[in-house]
Amino acid sequence: MPTKTLITGAAGFLGRALVTTLSAENHFTLTAVSRTSIPDLPSTVFTHVLRDINATTDWSAAIDVDVVVHAAARVHVMNDHAHDPLASFREINTAGTLNLARQAAKAGARRFIFISSVKVNGEGTVTGRPFFADDTCAPSDPYGVSKYEAEQGLIELGAYTGMEIVIIRPVLVYGPGVKANFHQLMRILQGGVPLPLGGIKNSRSLVSLDNLIDLIRVCIDHPAAANQRFLVSDGEDVSTTELARRILKFSGSKTWLIPVPDYLIFALAKLARRESYARRVLGSLQVDINKTRTLLNWSPPISLDQGLKLTVEQFMKTENK
């Protein structure tokens, strides 16, 4: 019998791809919820538009399901202009999540999959010392704090309602159609202007959209996923320099990457008031996915190179229109 599954954030980068992938399988009956209408979805997908997600949202029209995959969120941005960023993140990511979860449990949902963030673990790692799924958490920005508080509330809710809680913390997600910082990096690399990215020796974990979707698909049904936290990546870490080189290889561009010392890059970024960008470019953030591999018998189905190739090819098609 098909698993009745609710997917929130269904118009977003992850949610739309997840709905499209799962709707192609007979194993699922899907309900997709988003803030805006979603064109071109299969007629078999039930859709609902909810303008706001907060502590008072009424989910009754969409909540008769077996499993909830909660991908909707107020997303992290580099420069947040909200008057009180933490309150704004909490309204949606914490209170909104727990309100949905309480209604789902009351309606009889057996499992709640929460798409959290590696920012719950912290902002960065020392190269060679990755985050683990069950590490002590150390979120430091409002987005990470709001996700952490949602995780804690879900664990408490699951303990007294019996609804199974699954927490997935992705690292930076990329894939065809990616926006934000990854899209900006690809665009900069196509400019042909020499860039000071040739000597960065950090180490970062990434996850392709395809690999993240595959893990979510496994977590919908796998008995061992119940009441667990998982980190997810492509299973191969790269430096910023190596990432740039691979993007250039798949795009065919000839941008020259100049080796410049980290301290000089950071000093120039500070002068330009871009310290936060420099920290991302220069810093390490690695995750260990051995728990995910072992407990779920899961491996990333596509490699980092395969994921990057698909992403860059789509980017080049779009840019060259």
CATH of the domain at 82: 3.40.50.720
Residue 113 inside a domain? The answer is yes
Residues that are catalytic: 143
Rounded CA gap, 107 and 119, in Å?
Answer: 31
Give CA–CA dist 280/274, Å, rounded. Answer: 10
Is residue 90 domain-resident? yes
Residue 316 in any domain: the answer is no
- Whether residue 222 is contained in a domain is answered as yes
Query: Is it the case that residue 17 has pLDDT exceeding 90?
Result: yes
Note down the domain range covering 292: 3-172+209-233+288-302
User: Does 271 fall in a domain?
Assistant: no
Please report the pLDDT score of residue 76 as a whole number.
Answer: 62
Q: Is residue 265 part of a domain?
A: no
In a domain, 317, yes or no: no
In a domain, 283, yes or no: no
> How many domains in the chain?
1
- For residue range 255-294, what is the model confidence (pLDDT) as tens digits? 999 999 998 988 888 888 888 888 888 999 999 999 999 9
Task: Please name every residue paired with 47 in a beta bridge, in sequence order, or none if there are none.
Answer: 32
User: What SS3 state is found at 172?
Assistant: strand
Global confidence as pTM: 0.95
Q: Which amino acid is at 197?
A: L
CB atoms within 10 A of CB 163: 23
Rounded Cα distance between 87 and 74, Å, is 11
Q: What are phi and psi of 220, to 5 degrees?
A: -65, -35
pLDDT digits (tens, 9 = 90+) for 85-132: 899 999 999 999 999 999 999 999 999 999 999 999 999 999 889 999
Tens-digit pLDDT profile for residues 28-63: 999 999 998 888 888 889 999 998 999 999 999 999
pLDDT at 38: 84
